[in-house]
Structure 1
Amino acid sequence: MRGVSVILPTVRLDAWLDEAVWSILGNTGVDVDLVVVHDGVVPDRTLRWATDPRVQLVHHPERLGQTRGMMSGLAVARHDLIARLDADDLSSGTRLSRQAAYLDAHPETVAVGSRVMRIDNAGVDGKEMVFPAGADIRSHLLFANVVAHSSLMFRRDVGRTVGGYDPTLRQMEDYDFILRLAAVGPIANLDELLTRYRVHPQQTSRGAPPCGHHIDQVMRGRVALRRALKAPLLASTIKNLVWRAVQFARYYRVIRPGYER
């Protein structure tokens, strides 16, 4: 059976984490290796899922951030396909098998996402997030991040080739990583609703400043991807200017973040 390692960083122990974990363990058609990275929180080894042989527990005594959590998870992952899930999001029971099958059938594709439904605190469906679907959505990445991190599955060897997640980033680490993957090969978004994304006030993606190292790093990734795709310079420059303006508008709440729209 095809093996998939799922990395799930968390900074808390709560019902949302339990739901996220069980949504992964409920996946069928694959050999699941779930790495739950406890970032600054002590694992509760009495939890039923914590004793499941498919679960690995990694503990950071001090909070180090999501990027270091992902790198710790990658270091112990058992399989060559790596999937991602946030501790407040949910995976469908067929997500891992559908994405693994796609990557096996398309060896040139380095990563794959899916359609994503928003859910509220209680897990009730809201509006679907608007992302392009298709076999290669990289051109859309030159305008914005169109792959939800919790829907991402990628090849571990390609992740290593691009240097993994940047530990200096506390925000936009997902977009930065996805841009670097995209410079290597195609990224697909399956036209299937396989991930549910919880919208709530405590999200770490809220309030990212419109200036700083994370913005500079993403801009470098966008430039590198443009060159890899041989996209027109003028059009990409305009997209970069628009993207920067959107970061200011988002930060000052002139417009709502994409996950709220």
Structure 2
Amino acid sequence: MRDATCQLTVLMAVHNGMPFLRTAIESILKQTYRRFHFLIVDDASTDETRDIVRSYDDPRIELLCLERNVGQTAALNIGLRHASTPWIARMDADDYSAPTRFEEQMRLLDESGSLTCVGTFAWIFRDDPHMVEGTIERPLDSAAIRRGLLHGAPMIHGSLVIRRAALLEVGAYNERYRYSADRDLYNRLLTRYPAANVPQQLLGIRWHESQGSFSNVATDENIEIFSRMLVGSEYTPKEKTVLRRSLAYTYFARAKGWAAQRQYGELLQDLARAFRASPTRTLRGLAAYPIPDRMRVRLRQRFSRKPS
């Protein structure tokens, strides 16, 4: 039974989460901030995910089972609309929340009175959440977070606590994006509402081999998102200059992937797109990147003119 006075829903979407799910769930149940609803949306898992969730005798947990696999982005939207609390906390099924994560975030929300979104810093781990392999920091205040939008993701999606009404008002998650829905959301949410990051590593992000296999799709999505940001009215001309550099960088990153696969036609097309977005940024990238000998003549022919 739900606590009618609860202010926070922890939203987790999971598909076949069995290898890491218990660690993630138990990190939430051990939070020092105790008054929350824990909504777990099972996205038609075929492993023991549902049995694992049902093994916990905790009234805060609600399991919402989908009979058809819809993907994480759509599953999050289903959970968002099912929830009823003012605040939504995100949590991924393979990550780990430090015990004081929600306590620190809710304290900052209470103290500010105006923030709509609060994230945290994070650390990277492989198997043991207590073995830190690296740390991630993000800008602290709204002004710095807006500047961070011009380069990518100024907040860590799995660490967020967001006002539910604001999330719905901007259209929730765009189901067009499978891997970069967070960046698309930031463009709509963080240009309208104040946000902040708690300067503490309160989320552990698990690194595992399967994460690398989606990089091409994520890069494609990021290119589309940067391109849409450039045609919108939310950014000043000066900010759009920075956005063009970021778009060129992303095209260049994809071009390096084509080079590794010896797909030289696609490589040239992406370098041309990068050059159109930001000639200076592209030429700097080319100067720093080792280019196969067979490509040098073709590149000189295409990019010999000076940037305007």
TM-score range, shorter chain: 0.7 to 0.9
2:134 matched to 1:130? no
State how 1:1-261 maps to structure 2 within 5 Å.
Answer: 3-41=7-45, 43-45=49-51, 47=53, 49-123=55-129, 124-134=131-141, 136=143, 137-203=145-211, 206-208=215-217, 210-211=219-220, 215-221=223-229, 224=232, 226-227=234-235, 232-234=236-238, 236-251=239-254, 252=256
- Does the 8 A contact of 1:210 with 1:244 survive in 2? no
Q: Is residue 4–residue 96 contact of structure 1 (8 Å, CA) maintained in 2? A: no
Root mean square deviation of aligned Cα: 2.5
Q: Residues 225 and 177 of structure 1: is their aligned pair in 2 closer, same or farther, counting only changes over 3 Å?
A: farther
Bigger mean CA offset, 202-211 vs 120-129: 202-211
**Structure 1 residue 223: deviation in Å?**
5.9
Query: How far apart are the structure 1 equivalents of 2:20 and 2:233?
Result: 35
User: TM-score, normalized by length of structure 1?
Assistant: 0.84
Q: Residues 115 and 194 of structure 1 are in contact (CA less than 8 Å); yes or no, is this contact kept in structure 2? A: yes
- Report which of the two has the higher share of helix: 2
* Displacement after TM superposition at 1:145 (Å): 0.5
* Structure 1 residues 30 and 46: alpha-carbon distance in aligned structure 2, compared to 1, 3 A threshold: closer
Quote the Cα distance in structure 1 between the aligned partners of 2:234 and 2:125. 34
**Among the aligned pairs, what percent are the same residue?**
26
Higher relative contact order (CA 8 A, sep 6+): 1
Provide the secondary structure at the position in 2 that maps to 1:180: helix
Cα distance in structure 2, aligned partners of 1:92 and 1:23: 7
For residues 70-114 of structure 1, the C-alpha deviation after alignment (integer angstroms, 9 at most, x for no partner) is 111112223111010111111111111211121222232110111
- Larger deviation, residues 240-249 vs 26-35: 240-249
What letter matches 1:53 in structure 2?
A: P
Contact 2:122 2:203 in 1 (8 A): yes
| CA–CA distance in structure 1, aligned partners of residues 209 and 248 of structure 2 | 23
**Residues 222 and 177 from structure 1, CA distance in 2 versus in 1: closer, same or farther, beyond 3 angstroms?**
farther
Deviation at 1:48, TM superposition (A): 5.7
Q: Cα 1:117–1:250, aligned 2, differ >3 Å: closer, same or farther?
A: farther
Cα separation, partners in 2 of 1:95 and 1:135, compared to 1, 3 Å: farther
Tell me how far apart the structure 1 counterparts of residues 149 and 23 of structure 2 sit (CA, whole Å). 30
Listed as ranges, the gaps of 5+ residues in structure 2 are 260-308
Distance 1:219 1:31 in 2: 41
Shift of 1:195: 0.7
Q: In 1, distance between residues paired with 2:227 and 2:115? A: 23
Secondary structure, aligned partner of 1:206:
helix
Taking structure 1 as reference, are residues 111 and 171 closer, same or farther at Cα in structure 2, changes over 3 Å only? same
8 Å CA contact retained: 1:37, 1:59:
yes
AA paired with 2:139?
P
- 1:174 maps to a residue whose letter is D
Instruction: Please say if residues 38 and 61 of structure 2, whose CA atoms lie closer than 8 Å, have aligned partners that are also in contact.
Output: yes
Quick one: which amino acid aligns to residue 245 of structure 2?
V
User: What is the CA–CA distance in structure 1 between the aligned matches of 2:190 and 2:35, rounded to whole Å?
Assistant: 27
Greater Cα shift, 133-142 or 32-41: 133-142
In structure 1, the residue matched to 2:278 is none
Letter in 2 for 1:111: C
Q: Please say if residues 24 and 96 of structure 2, whose CA atoms lie closer than 8 Å, have aligned partners that are also in contact.
A: yes
Q: Which has the larger radius of gyration?
A: 2
TM-score (norm 2): 0.72
Alpha-carbon distance in structure 1 between the residues aligned to 2:148 and 2:116: 16
